[in-house]
Amino acid sequence: MSQPETHEQPDVRKRPYTLSIPAFLQEELDKTDWEELDTDTGDGGELPIFINGLLAEEDPELGDHCFDVLDEEIGQAVYKATYKVGEILATLLPRYTPESEVHTRVVKFLFLIMSRLTIRKGKDAYENLTTKLQASIPAFYQRAAHPDDKFALEGIYLLLHAGRTAPETVVFLWKIYNNTALSTFKRSYALFTLAILYVETDQSTTLITEFSAIWESTEEKLLRLILAAHLVMAAEGESKTPWIMELIEVFIHPAPLKQDFFKLNPYTYSYHIEEYILGVLRYIDADKQEHKIAPVLAMLPEANILTLTTLFDALFSILFWQRASLENITPTRKQALLLSADIVDKNPGVVNHAEIFRKYQLPYDATQLRQLAG
């Protein structure tokens, strides 16, 4: 009996090289000398092949393979080629319906490169890219309203870049935040996006006014953390004690928020929640706001060994993260040193404590701490 004839496709790694390039794409590709551009593994001579494959409408396996190749070549770090590929994809995105696999794939790739920490470093190239993205703002609004958070977050994040100067973007993000029928996580992402948008458009005063207005009425812990963090960073020398204490409380008991907070990446820069809060606390001007740190100091004498480790880290992050702080022993710094000395007396040799003290160039010795306090 004869075997049925099979028509297997060639290896997916070979298929990009046999795919014809449509005229509309070739026109865009011809504007760039690809071999002059660097990638992670060499020059960009083959990038057009994989851009074409990424846009393959009838071969999703090929599209996904080309996505992975482009990610490896220009997606993990920002090259000139990253901007060029992004510009072409942004230019061609409106050709595809938002429901198509190609549109989904391209948006995912644009989200990937726009979320690189250094994407704004090439200022002119970044502005060119965001200008190209503006043609797809309606599609990003549609994606941001997607019921699946994974897709919605891509749309929200791309709106930050493409629509950051449009008043409609702010209105849209507040609409998401105020919709309590949505997941707390999605509302948190919209709130974080608003915070970044206000900062990037020099509207810190607006941020403080609007975020402080909803502070008291907000109950969800993740939302309160985001509000407190951005209020502290924006207010700097005018931070309020409740905002600071909200951060300290989460720093001491981070477990309930750890998973959702980490998923707020790229806004959190892949930091764990404790690392992020320490960075925020350093925005506090301890010299001007000593009285606002008093509640933290009051927690020290009654705290257990484990809680003391995190409290020391938080307190020292505010008071002693700059080496020059040791040359300016204010009343609050003096009180912190004396309280710390008492605790060291009661708990000598606690390795975790000693590591925190060394981190801030402080002696883990009661006598030396008292001498430093003066």
Over the chain (374 residues), the average pLDDT of each successive run of 10 is: 44 95 98 96 96 96 98 97 98 97 98 96 96 98 95 97 95 97 96 97 97 95 98 90 95 94 91 93 83 88 91 93 90 95 91 92 96 95
Element (H, E) at 87: helix 80-92
Distance, in Å, from the CA atom of 2 to the CA atom of 246, rounded to the nearest integer, reads: 75
Which 8-state DSSP code applies to residue 367?
Answer: H
Distance, in Å, from the CA atom of 314 to the CA atom of 90, rounded to the nearest integer, reads: 43
Among candidates 363, 334, 365, 360, which has minimal Cα distance to 348?
365
Q: Please give the distance of CA 178 from its chain centroid, rounded to a whole number.
A: 22
User: Is the peptide bond between 48 and the residue preceding it cis, with omega within 30 degrees of 0?
Assistant: no
Q: What is the pLDDT of residue 65?
A: 97
Phi, psi of 38 (to 5 degrees): -85, 150
Instruction: Look at the alpha carbons of 94, 100, 106, 110 in this order and tell me if their dihedral is positive or negative.
Output: positive
**b/e per residue 320-355 (b: at least 16 CB within 10 A):** bbeeebeeeeeebbebbbbbbbebbeeeeebeebbe
Q: What is the pLDDT of residue 9?
A: 62
Ramachandran category for residue 241: left, alpha or beta (phi over 0 → left; psi -120 to 50 → alpha)? alpha
Q: What is the pLDDT of residue 1?
A: 30
Q: What pTM does this model have?
A: 0.89
208: how many CB neighbours lie within 10 A of its CB?
16
- Contact (Cβ atoms closer than 8 angstroms) between residue 195 and residue 232: no
